[in-house]
Structure formats: structure tokens, C-alpha cells
Amino acid sequence: MITIYGRGRGFRVVRLLEEMGLPYRLRDVDMRAGVENDAEFLRINPAGFIPALVDGSATMVESIAIMEYLMARYGPTPLSPEPTSTAYPAYQQFLHLGEAGMAAAVFFAGNARRLPTEAERSNPTARHALRQYENRLTLVRRQLDRTPYLAGEAFTAADISVAYAIDLAERFADVAPGAEEAAHLARVRTRDAYARAVAACAKAAP
């Protein structure tokens, strides 16, 4: 049985598992309570961040790496175009952009908004992180002007990756999506697997 530790960025992995129809167990990790009190999770990932995956003898962290592992291990799947496909370059770019260029920046910008004083909230690092996120959005918007999904005409794991980052930006950093991103979010949320993933994460919440 595949076990996923943690929601948050783990939502990407849960969404992928639901799209692929793979059985799994979602085990919540209460980051607010402090992972130092979660000995089971720390045995899986002593660095203490989420998500983490255990699949038989395989243990992994990092949401995008986990997604790539699952698609390679349990595919083939249309969620990951073949390397020979014309959709593959865009797929790879946006699969990784969703974390490296977008969600990681939102994390720093969003945390700054929770600091106690305005001077702390408007620090140079937070401003740079927000500029980085908005800069990467120009690539997303350009692609969505061309095609309904980020790798082309078909929904892929790249859409899961970027949609999570856009949703995180709105919830965590108060960055409202533009028209292109909002339309994309609406498209990816109509899929049955999205509703199942949301329900699974809500059920796992403490």
C-alpha cells in the first residue's frame, strides 16, 4: 500500500493518485503542532518537511519527485506524455515550474505576510519572492493563451503542479489569480479526481 505523509504540497500527490486510480493511505502530519513530536514521521523524513512517500522499500520526499516516481512506476499514464511527444517539453517545464519557480516563492512571500509588523512583512526577500512568482506567471499565461492545458490540449501532471501553486498563492499570499489562471483552475477542478482528492485531504485533517 502506498502511504503519503502530509497534506499541503502532498495534495499534488493525492490528486495524482486519484487521477491514476491507485490505492493509497494518507497519513496527516500536523506541522503546526511540531514534527519533533511525530516520531513515526521523522523516521520517514528526518528533515521534517512534507510530503513523504513510502511504497514498499521505496521512501521519497519532494512532491514533484514523488509524482514522477509514481507515473514511472505505475504508468504509462496520459498524465505524463512520452518523451517523443511534442507535448513533452512544455510538460516538463511546467511540471517543475509549479514548484521551483512558483510554490517555493509563494511560501516565502506568504510567510512574510504573517510577520507582526509592516516593516517585517515588506522585507526585500518577500518582495523578491513575490516578483519571482509573478514573473513565472507570465510563462503560464502565455501558454494558456495558446492551449487549454499547460502541455497542450490534454490535462497532465503539469496542470496539477501549477494549479496547486496558483491556489496556494491565493490562499496563503493573497495573490488573486488573473483571468487565464482562474479559467485554468476552473477546468482542472471539474475533474472527478479533484473532488476525491479534496475529500481525502479533509478526511485526514485532525
- Listed by start position, the domains of the chain span 2-79+193-204, 88-190
Least confident stretch, 188-192, 193-197, 201-205? 201-205
| DSSP-assigned letters across all residues of 84-112 | TSTTHHHHHHHHHIIIIIIIHHHHHHHHH
What is the fold of 2-79+193-204? Answer: Glutaredoxin (3.40.30)
Task: Determine what percent of the chain is predicted with pLDDT higher than 90.
Answer: 83
Q: How confident is the model at residue 124 (pLDDT cuts 50, 70, 90)?
A: confident
> Omega into 148 within 30° of 0, i.e. cis?
no
Gap between the Cα atoms of 22 and 53, Å rounded: 14
Q: What is the pTM of this model?
A: 0.95
Q: Please enumerate in sequence order all residues whose Cβ is within 8 A of that of 181, keeping only pairs 6 or more positions apart, or say none.
A: 137, 140, 141, 144, 166
For 51, the grid coordinates are 510530503
Gap between the Cα atoms of 99 and 106, Å rounded: 9
| pLDDT on residue 84 | 97
For 126, the grid coordinates are 518577500
For the domain with range 88-190, which CATH number is right: 3.20.20.140, 3.90.1150.10, 1.20.1050.10, 3.30.365.10?
1.20.1050.10
Gap between the Cα atoms of 160 and 163, Å rounded: 5
User: Could you tell me if 89 and 81 are in contact, meaning their C-beta atoms sit under 8 angstroms apart?
Assistant: no
Cα 193–chain centre separation: 15
Q: What are phi and psi of 87, to 5 degrees?
A: -80, -15
| pLDDT on residue 148 | 97
The residue with cell 513530536 is: 37
| pLDDT on residue 117 | 77
Task: Determine what percent of the chain is predicted with pLDDT higher than 70.
Answer: 99
* Full strand arrangement of the beta sheet holding 52-55: 24-27, 2-5, 52-55, 58-61
User: What's the rounded mean pLDDT across residues 42-67?
Assistant: 97
Q: How confident is the model at residue 120 (pLDDT cuts 50, 70, 90)?
A: confident
Model pLDDT for residues 80-100, shown as the tens digit of each residue: 999 999 999 999 999 999 999
| pLDDT on residue 142 | 98
